Amino acid sequence: VRKPVIGVMGPGAGATASDLKNATQLGKQIAEKGWILLSGGRAEGVMNAVNQGAKAANGLTVGIIPTNDNDGTSEFVDVAIITDMGSARNNINVLSSDVVIACGMGSGTASEIALALKAKKQVILLTDDLEAKIFFKKLGGNNVLLAESVEESISAAEKLLKSVR
Amino acid sequence: VRKPVIGVMGPGAGATASDLKNATQLGKQIAEKGWILLSGGRAEGVMNAVNQGAKAANGLTVGIIPTNDNDGTSEFVDVAIITDMGSARNNINVLSSDVVIACGMGSGTASEIALALKAKKQVILLTDDLEAKIFFKKLGGNNVLLAESVEESISAAEKLLKSVR
Amino acid sequence: VRKPVIGVMGPGAGATASDLKNATQLGKQIAEKGWILLSGGRAEGVMNAVNQGAKAANGLTVGIIPTNDNDGTSEFVDVAIITDMGSARNNINVLSSDVVIACGMGSGTASEIALALKAKKQVILLTDDLEAKIFFKKLGGNNVLLAESVEESISAAEKLLKSVR
Amino acid sequence: VRKPVIGVMGPGAGATASDLKNATQLGKQIAEKGWILLSGGRAEGVMNAVNQGAKAANGLTVGIIPTNDNDGTSEFVDVAIITDMGSARNNINVLSSDVVIACGMGSGTASEIALALKAKKQVILLTDDLEAKIFFKKLGGNNVLLAESVEESISAAEKLLKSVR
């Protein structure tokens, strides 16, 4: 049986210090659980931090890359999937994840949350963007879980995995 | 020179009566301006209504289809682009549009607004979903315009076309 | 009812003088039949020539663009679909066409023929590449038609349209 | 540094007994080299056999899945990338591989070879389809290597990896 895949979605250049700290911890704890980490795979922001955290705990990391080569890929990605399809790869990010965690907020991240909800996936939001929480909770109902911390996110992911697999 | 392309994005089965009325009028007025209408192309909700409106005014209609055939394509679509890529086609919808109008709200529509903002496109929101307006205005800043009516949407599109082309 | 869509696939920079001449004539005759022309849409080689031919006869031309803007789009394309997905757009080219005509040969064109056959589409080959004809005829059987001229290609397309629509 | 990724492309239902035997051996030897195996990931033909071979030697296996779920995914795939983009995922297959080995022949496989050549990737052909060898050698020149056995394929891959990484 395949290991669970947890997708962590979050901004690149626009990530806050808090997002980066959360992402590093998310990556670490995902790896410690024995789950596979999937992300947008680029060498910046939440994408880089979450992969770095997972590798620090010897996790397996998969990056879904928007460009046509690895020039912008995080050094902490083990398996780089080269899509050359720009933001359309965001749909692959969420479809390939058993559970999606949004860490931080931005237009790319918002598209991933919306695409996840469109695909009837459950999404855990870890962000201090209040307007995002209100909007996506209204949009997704029970498929959106609001987490206040990394620990709550991991705990929610663990519960969701039992229902989706 | 190519004619302007206006993308109208909106829900399928989840469209409200008000969304459908707006979509029909948007399609009609887009056609009357001589613009090309682009949409998700399916035979339901806003997609069907906007194409029907445009054809009633002899417009040219383009549908970007998520499936691998035309079984679910609106009869009011002139040019059907068969992508077989599900919701990943939402990115094509916005990239191919000079201006994007969101008519109504849902997870697919939300993904299109977010993808448009990611691509630095300008988006006109025509919806009574207050939480969506607040969130996307915060997310997109000046690239998001809030319209209160079909007329305001068309007028805003006309102004934006002057800046993007 | 939607008008028939004829996809003409052929090389860009690698097109021969004969390919370009054939492409121009194909575009012209497709337009004269009242069919919609679909192509890869770029401003070079067979793509440019076939669109130029179609516009000379007042046809409607659709280009499926691999990049994220219109910088490389043929001026003879009426409707530009911006995919930003590189060669993965080749699958959209063939799925969106009722009949596929390959005019000339190259790696992109070969991928389109193969993708068309994978999708059980019928393909007309107009090329003097003997090895290509032998290989694809073996691969596709009755779904591959070998044409010796533009006229034969158009005549074959006309027959195929009756069976697929 | 990321481990090398070897893409093995080959037919599903149309695979011959010889293709399946070769695929199983390819998977085994790829795993023994410490390389990552990438394939189309489905539970049939060359895709299933190559993954089974790799897992028998404790390799890491990645499958790029055309559908929107894992219902048709080989049980021997460790990491399943769910694309929901049908044959357009063939381009991801080749872009994500450092070296591509075609094992057997069919329309999907032919599209992958052509897409690899379009992307300037090097392709090793392991097939007894003479017409395919002649055509692709003409099309791809030095980027196409003809192998007569699994051992020759692995040896060629080893040499190519030194040049591409």
Give residue-wise pLDDT tens across range A19-63.
999 999 999 999 999 999 999 999 999 999 999 999 999 999 999
Distance, CA of A90 to CA of A9 (rounded, Å): 9
A positions 102-141 inside 8 Å of D (CB): 119
Residue A164: its pLDDT value, please? 81
Distance, CA of B98 to CA of B2 (rounded, Å): 11
Indicate the helix (H) or strand (E) that contains B79. Answer: strand B79-82
CB-based burial label for C116 (10 Å; 0-12, 13-18, 19+): buried
Distance, CA of C41 to CA of C26 (rounded, Å): 15
Distance, CA of D86 to CA of D68 (rounded, Å): 9
Q: Do D68 and B86 touch (CB under 8 A)?
A: yes
Task: Using DSSP, state whether C119 is helix, strand or coil.
Answer: coil
Residue B164: its pLDDT value, please? 81
Smallest CA-to-CA distance from D63 within D118, D5, D1, D20 is with: D5
Residue D164: its pLDDT value, please? 81
Give residue-wise pLDDT tens across range A84-93.
999 999 999 9
Are the CB atoms for C30 and C58 separated by under 8 Å? no
B123-126 β-sheet, strand order = B79-82, B61-65, B36-39, B5-9, B99-103, B123-126, B144-146
pLDDT at A165 over 90: no
Are the CB atoms for D63 and D47 separated by under 8 Å? yes
Q: Tell me the average pLDDT of chain A.
A: 97
Mutation choice for C interface testing from D9, D95, D115 by most C CBs within 10 A: D115
Residue D34: its pLDDT value, please? 98
Give residue-wise pLDDT tens across range B35-63.
999 999 999 999 999 999 999 999 999 99
Stretch C116-140: mean pLDDT = 98
Q: Write the DSSP symbol of residue C65.
A: E
Q: Write the DSSP symbol of residue A67.
A: S
Are the CB atoms for B142 and B163 separated by under 8 Å? no
Q: Do C84 and B95 touch (CB under 8 A)?
A: yes
Distance, CA of B32 to CA of D37 (rounded, Å): 55
Tokens 């629509």 sit at which residue? C165
**Torsions phi, psi for D6 (to 5 deg):** -110, 120
CA torsion sign for A104, A105, A108, A113 is positive
Q: Do B81 and C68 touch (CB under 8 A)?
A: no
Structure confidence at residue C118 as a pLDDT band (50, 70, 90)? very high
Return the bridge partners of C73, or none: C42
Structure confidence at residue B12 as a pLDDT band (50, 70, 90)? very high
Query: Residues for chain C: how many in total?
Result: 165
Q: Tell me the average pLDDT of chain B.
A: 97
pLDDT at B165 over 80: no
pLDDT at C144 over 90: yes
B67 touches chain C (CB under 8 A): no
D79-82 β-sheet, strand order = D79-82, D61-65, D36-39, D5-9, D99-103, D123-126, D144-146
Chain A nearest C-alpha distance from C86 (Å): 6
B146 touches chain D (CB under 8 A): no
Structure confidence at residue B16 as a pLDDT band (50, 70, 90)? very high
Residue D137: its pLDDT value, please? 98
Q: Tell me the average pLDDT of chain C.
A: 97
Q: What does the angle CA C123 – CA D91 – CA D11 come to, to the nearest 5 degrees?
A: 70
CA torsion sign for C23, C27, C30, C33 is negative
Distance, CA of A44 to CA of B48 (rounded, Å): 41
Residue C96: its pLDDT value, please? 98
Angle between helices D130-140 and C107-118 (to 10 degrees): 140
CB-based burial label for B141 (10 Å; 0-12, 13-18, 19+): exposed
D positions 73-92 inside 8 Å of A (CB): 77-85, 91-92
Give residue-wise pLDDT tens across range B116-161.
999 999 999 999 999 999 999 999 999 999 999 999 999 999 999 9
pTM above 0.80, yes or no: yes
What number of other Cβ atoms are within 10 A of residue A148's Cβ?
Answer: 9
Q: Do D115 and C107 touch (CB under 8 A)?
A: yes
CA D15 to chain centre: 13
C149 touches chain A (CB under 8 A): no
Q: Write the DSSP symbol of residue D2.
A: P
Distance, CA of D149 to CA of D37 (rounded, Å): 18
The fraction of chain B above a pLDDT of 70, given in percent, is 100
Show residues of chain C in contact with A86, CB under 8 Å.
68, 84-85
Tokens 């890869």 sit at which residue? C40
B149 touches chain D (CB under 8 A): no
Show residues of chain B in contact with D81, CB under 8 Å.
none
D67 touches chain A (CB under 8 A): no
Phi-psi region of B101 (alpha: psi -120 to 50; beta: other; left: phi over 0): beta
pLDDT at B17 over 80: yes
Neighbours of chain C (3+ CB pairs under 8 A): A, B, D
Neighbours of chain D (3+ CB pairs under 8 A): A, B, C
Distance, CA of D60 to CA of D30 (rounded, Å): 10
Distance, CA of A56 to CA of A74 (rounded, Å): 14
Return the bridge partners of C39, or none: C63
Q: Which whole-number Å values give the CA distances from C98 to A145, C119, C153, in the listed order?
A: 45, 11, 14
Tokens 């070897």 sit at which residue? D6
Give residue-wise pLDDT tens across range C24-76.
999 999 999 999 999 999 999 999 999 999 999 999 999 999 999 999 999 99
Distance, CA of A116 to CA of A139 (rounded, Å): 11
Q: Could you say which residues of chain D have pLDDT below 50?
A: none
Residue C52: its pLDDT value, please? 98
Give residue-wise pLDDT tens across range A106-157.
999 999 999 999 999 999 999 999 999 999 999 999 999 999 999 999 999 9
**Torsions phi, psi for A2 (to 5 deg):** -70, 145
Residue C1: its pLDDT value, please? 82
